[in-house]
Amino acid sequence: MTVVACRKPDPDQGLDILPGDPLGVVVDTFTLHAFTVVDSAVRTSGLSKQLAGAYMDPQFGLVKAGLVTQWRLPANNIGQGIDTSGLVADSLVLSLAFDGANYGYGNMDPQVFEAYELSESLSLDSTYHAYREPEVHGTDLVANRGGRIKPQPTSRPTIGGDTLVPQLRIRLDAGLAARIMDAFGTPAMSSSEEFLQFFKGIHVTVDPSGLMPHEGGVLIFDLVAAASKATLYYRDLNDTPELTRTLDLLINSNCVRYTVVRHDRSQAMDVGLATALADTTLPAATTYVQALGGLRTAIRFPELANEAGANRILAKAELVAPVSGSVYPFYPPPSQIFLFRRSDTGGDVFLPDQLNGIGAIDGRYRLEDQSYHFNITRYIQGVINGTYPNDGFTMVSGSSGVSANRVVLAGPAASDDPMKLRLTFTTY
């Protein structure tokens, strides 16, 4: 997008810096070209949180997330040396602890949760990305298939007289419970490694069918919390009196854990995103940033090359990116946006301003004026000097692998409060 540069000279300001020198301060608003691009698949394995759920975003379309995890035994040789003839499985419950106050994105509407047994083995030595669908067996393991579960991320359930942390509890198929029960005392229960050959893991996702605009939400879970586990409830008919026993199948840092994501932008009701992606050369009234490997905003500065050799010194460069329109209360913008330039090998690297710490470059969301500000003085000076190529950078949502945040930004062609680059020069 090209906007007309605006020059506001102030010949008197700064005259006292070096007495006798004809110094001044000039603030230029420079030409920007901004456009939206689809992000690459973000790594989601080995991160602090995993996500599951779906919501229908009128501007971004359908966002669907599911989590993949393994279970491990609490001890070796489960059932070894005991009489297992009287053991009867009652139920198997998967518990997923919510991530405290940061429990989700969107509305907490009831959703149809699904669970599938993995048919492939996962490895801690491997890296898994958001678009990597696991190989699974085709039978849904949720006991009440097709039934909706209402997330209650602020409620503490009481089970067996104990008050637990907020969690999503999914009752799994009785057949799987019986299968695990029948494995007591066999090699499958001798170690976690053997158990992972017997049951390779589980993929928890949702069926988003029928979601209307603004319905649904993506839930955020802490799978390494002690409350995240699968619990087998069973009885021993030989007990007198008969008691209910439990076996916890653990989720911990020794388990592969990652989030799978699908973005269906064709379901967006607003045509702005489709228009933005169709032709990146058009003047952009809006641009888009979305976590979970969704979308980035790319920024280019076609006029910066003209500053090389000019008789002035760059004192400050600030990129200002306002939010476009109003903010839907259940879709808050990312709390921070990061800027990445492209390295010589094609990867993402921080701008030099960011290497001095987050506070130096800023990029935090300003609620008071609904905007993001970035101090990119070192980078812009490097482009002018030829230290860095003038090929711009991209804007990426912070915590992109563990959050579902998104934001629509006012582009350089916005009629009201557009995105802009302000350069402050000292002239000589």
Q: Where are the domains of the chain?
A: 6-30+283-427, 50-264
**Share of the chain residues as helix, strand and coil, in percent rounded to the nearest 5:** 10, 40, 50
3-state class (DSSP) for residue 278: helix
Contact in structure between 181 and 232 (CB atoms under 8 Å)? yes
Phi, psi of 32 (to 5 degrees): -120, 150
Please report the pLDDT score of residue 6 as a whole number.
Answer: 42
The strand ranges marked E within 174-326 are 202-207, 216-221, 229-236, 244-250, 257-264, 286-290, 295-300, 312-322
Q: Between the CA of residue 384 and those of 151, 314, 375, what are the distances in Å?
A: 52, 9, 16
- pTM equals 0.90
Q: Find all residues with CB under 8 Å of 248, minimum gap 6, and list them.
A: 74, 229, 230, 231, 232
The kind and range of the H/E element at 193 are helix 192-198
**HEC string for 6-63:** EEEEECCCCCCCCCCCCCEEEEEEECCEEEEEECCCCECCCCCCEEEEEEEECCCEEE
Query: What's the Cα-to-Cα distance from 278 to each of 35, 212, 284, rounded to whole Å?
Result: 10, 25, 12
Query: Residue 377: what pLDDT?
Result: 95
Which H, E and C letters describe 398-416, residue by residue? CCCCCCCCEEEEECCCCCC
Nearest-CA neighbor of 28 among 8, 46, 47? 8
Smallest CA-to-CA distance from 68 within 82, 55, 52, 57 is with 52
pLDDT given at position 313: 85
Q: Pull the structure tokens for residue 366.
A: 């300003």
Cα 236 to Cα 89: distance, rounded to the nearest angstrom: 9
Phi, psi of 99 (to 5 degrees): -85, 65
State the pairing for strand pair 371-375/362-366. antiparallel
List all residues 6 or more positions away from 288 whose beta carbon is below 8 Å from its beta carbon: 36, 59, 60, 273, 276, 295, 297, 406, 407, 408, 409
CATH number of 6-30+283-427: 2.60.120
Torsion of CA 271, 274, 279, 283, to 10 degrees: 40
Beta bridge pairs of residue 116: 203
**Cβ 422 vs Cβ 320: under 8 Å:** yes
Question: Could you tell me the two tokens for 419?
Answer: 């995105």
Tens digits of pLDDT across the chain (428 residues): 444 344 444 444 443 434 434 456 777 788 899 999 999 989 999 999 999 999 999 999 999 999 999 999 999 999 999 999 999 999 999 999 999 989 999 999 999 999 999 999 999 999 999 999 999 999 999 999 999 999 999 999 998 889 999 999 999 999 999 999 999 999 999 999 999 999 999 999 999 999 999 999 999 999 999 999 999 999 999 888 888 899 999 999 999 999 999 999 999 999 999 999 999 999 999 999 999 999 999 999 988 877 776 677 899 999 999 999 999 999 999 999 999 999 888 899 999 998 877 678 999 999 999 999 999 999 999 999 899 999 999 999 999 999 999 999 999 999 999 999 999 988 76
Q: State both tokens at 42.
A: 């973000």
Angle, CA of 385, 306 and 282, to the nearest 5°? 115
